[in-house]
């Protein structure tokens, strides 16, 4: 029986909308922006700071400066604010904890943040990757951001950062099909994609169904 859905997504593929639709269909808790708020509560820090580092990777220069600042503060006996030490690495660590706790509770849809890697060993987790045609992604993001921004570069850089996040924190290839049960193109429509995912999860819970013993991957191009 599947009790958790992890949904990774290319930027602009409509994955967050698909995740929301599946959560509503299954009546499960959705952890997308709510995950940011949960991390903030767990870390006792404001959500805006968490959002700044969400699904990002610290540069080596940042890590060098952070470690140096910590060493100086300890030597001098100076207490610094939590926010001064909160960065992408800290965010990822807290996110991993929140993801694990949510999976233990079950009945939840977790969007991004490497959840497919964090929960890879759990048999009650169904993992999906959403991709989409380039033109559709560009159009979707163009309607969401300021016209002064370079949309295509924003999409490329966001995808690269998400892939780097997974590689840095979990040593995995973001688009490795072995991480997922299904890889679906949003070109088939968000409602159809959501229906397929919800249906697969529901059928996967039947002991007399092939989904109980076979991991099936779909790729619609």
Please state, in angstroms and rounded to a whole number, the distance separating the CA atoms of residues 132 and 146: 22
Tell me what pLDDT residue 87 has. 83
Residue 76, pLDDT score: 46
Query: What is the pLDDT at residue 12?
Result: 95
pLDDT of residue 148: 55
pLDDT at residue 146, as a whole number: 67
CATH numbers and ranges of domains, the chain: 4-212 (3.40.50.300)
With beta carbons less than 8 A apart as the criterion, state whether 184 and 196 touch: yes
User: What is the predicted pLDDT for the residue at 165?
Assistant: 93
pTM of the entire predicted model: 0.80
**The pLDDT of residue 193:** 96
Largest distance between two CA atoms of the chain: 65
10-residue mean pLDDT series, the chain (221 residues): 96 96 96 90 86 75 45 44 66 92 96 95 96 94 76 93 94 95 95 95 65 42 43
Q: What is the pLDDT of residue 149?
A: 66
Looking at the chain, list the stretches that DSSP marks H as alpha helix, in order from N- to C-terminal side.
15-26, 33-43, 47-53, 60-76, 82-85, 88-105, 115-118, 134-142, 151-170, 190-204
- pLDDT of 130 reads 98
């Amino acid at each position: 029986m599947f009790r958790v859905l992890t949904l990774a997504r290319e930027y602009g593929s409509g994955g967050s909308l698909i995740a929301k639709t599946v959560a509503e269909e299954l009546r499960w808790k959705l952890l997308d922006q709510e995950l940011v708020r949960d991390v903030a509560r767990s870390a006792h820090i404001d959500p805006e700071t968490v959002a700044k580092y969400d699904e990002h990777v610290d540069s080596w220069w940042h890590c060098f400066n952070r470690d140096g600042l910590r060493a100086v503060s300890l030597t001098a006996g100076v207490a610094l604010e939590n926010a001064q030490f909160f960065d992408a690495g800290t965010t990822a660590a807290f996110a991993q904890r929140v993801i694990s706790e949510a999976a233990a509770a079950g009945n939840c849809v977790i969007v991004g943040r490497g959840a497919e890697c964090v929960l890879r060993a759990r048999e009650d987790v169904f993992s999906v990757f959403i991709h989409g045609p380039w033109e559709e992604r560009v159009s979707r993001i163009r309607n969401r951001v300021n016209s002064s921004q370079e949309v295509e570069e924003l999409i490329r850089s966001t995808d690269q950062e998400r892939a780097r996040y997974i590689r840095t924190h979990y040593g995995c290839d973001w688009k490795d099909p072995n991480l997922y049960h299904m890889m679906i193109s949003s070109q088939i429509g968000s409602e159809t994609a959501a229906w397929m995912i919800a249906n697969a999860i529901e059928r996967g819970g039947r002991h007399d169904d092939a989904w109980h013993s076979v991991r099936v991957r779909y790729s619609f191009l």
